[in-house]
């Protein structure tokens, strides 16, 4: 039975049927699994040193992932947009245990697609790290699914919210470890090329790249031709700036500075 083909009435009748069964809590479901927590700073240090050796899987829905994500993350939704909406309704309007059971029923049929996803991303050769919004249910359950397929993984403690805390802490810090050299000039004079050419030697903050902005001469053309994803909000813009700072591995990258949160 494909749960996504059920209408609202049929779905609620399914949920009502759960009351005749013993519904396990998420803690009980995961009790036999070793869910390994991993701090956001440990994740970022690994991504800075060797991003190609890390498979960072974002377990949130497609919409959540499109709004913002941890750098280098790839999306595998444990619950799709519609599924997450329905689970949330059941959680709010009916019961927590029924919502968990429904979430499991949505997640489990994705095992084959998860296996394909892992093979396509060469998971066997990489360290697997999983995140969701707060580092709770979805990332832990995806870690369980990975374990069932024979893979080991770690879960980002605090999820993407922990990444946002690091972003805010950095961008509001009183002590910043760089002195800035501002590059300015008319459109087309080569500012972006200059930034790219020095980025392997020096830390670079490219504001236009962080905002995915292009010359007004080009307008919407780059988005249509290349499929570049637009930055749609301040949160993603800030995250992109922070990633340029934190994940920079140039010769003169960030060093520890008293009072600075790295």
Multiple choice CATH, 3-166, 2.40.340.10, 3.30.70.920, 3.50.50.60, 3.40.250.10:
3.40.250.10
**Helix and strand element counts for the chain (H, E):** 13, 5
Average pLDDT, the chain: 88
pLDDT interval class at 259 (50, 70, 90):
very low
pLDDT (0 to 100) of residue 253: 54
State pLDDT tens for residues 12-55: 899 988 888 888 999 999 999 999 999 999 999 999 999 999 99
What residues contact 132, with CB distance under 8 A and at least 6 apart?
58, 59, 60, 78, 138, 139, 142, 159, 160
Q: Where are the domains of the chain?
A: 3-166, 174-246
Higher-scoring residue by pLDDT: 82, 202: 82
Distance, in Å, from the CA atom of 164 to the CA atom of 238, rounded to the nearest integer, reads 9
pLDDT (0 to 100) of residue 260: 42
Burial 127-152 (b: 16+ CB within 10 A, else e): ebbbbbbebebbbbbbbbbbbeeebe
| pTM score, whole prediction | 0.89
pLDDT interval class at 218 (50, 70, 90):
low
State pLDDT tens for residues 92-148: 989 999 999 999 999 999 999 999 999 999 999 999 999 999 978 999 999 999 999
State pLDDT tens for residues 165-186: 999 998 998 887 677 888 888 8
pLDDT interval class at 211 (50, 70, 90):
confident
CA 140, 145, 151: angle at the middle one, nearest 5?
100
What residues contact 70, with CB distance under 8 A and at least 6 apart?
40, 43, 56, 58, 131, 156, 160, 163
pLDDT (0 to 100) of residue 252: 58
Find the range with the poorest average confidence among 82-86, 214-218, 222-226: 214-218
């Amino acid at each position: 039975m494909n749960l996504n083909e059920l209408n609202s009435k049929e779905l609620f009748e399914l949920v009502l049927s759960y009351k005749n069964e013993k519904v396990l809590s998420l803690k009980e479901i995961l009790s036999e699994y070793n869910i390994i927590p991993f701090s956001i700073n440990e994740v970022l240090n690994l991504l800075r040193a060797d991003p190609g050796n890390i498979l960072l899987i974002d377990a949130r829905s497609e919409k959540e992932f499109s709004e913002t994500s941890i750098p280098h993350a790839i999306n595998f939704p444990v619950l799709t947009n519609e599924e997450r909406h329905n689970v949330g309704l059941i959680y709010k309007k009916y019961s927590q245990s029924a919502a968990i059971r429904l979430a499991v029923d949505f997640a489990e049929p994705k095992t084959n697609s998860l296996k394909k996803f892992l093979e396509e991303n060469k998971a066997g050769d990489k360290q697997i790290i999983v995140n969701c919004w707060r580092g709770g249910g979805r990332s832990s359950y995806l870690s369980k699914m990975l374990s069932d397929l024979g893979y080991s993984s770690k879960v980002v403690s605090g999820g993407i919210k922990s990444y946002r805390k690091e972003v805010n802490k950095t961008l509001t810090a009183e002590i910043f470890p760089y002195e800035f050299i501002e590059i300015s000039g008319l459109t087309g004079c080569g500012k972006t090329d200059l930034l790219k050419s020095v980025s392997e030697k020096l830390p670079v903050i490219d504001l236009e790249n962080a905002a995915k902005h292009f010359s007004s001469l080009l307008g919407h053309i780059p988005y249509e031709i290349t499929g570049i994803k637009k930055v749609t909000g301040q949160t993603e813009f800030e995250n992109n700036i922070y990633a340029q700072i934190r994940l920079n591995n140039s010769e003169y990258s960030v060093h520890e500075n008293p009072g600075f949160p790295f």
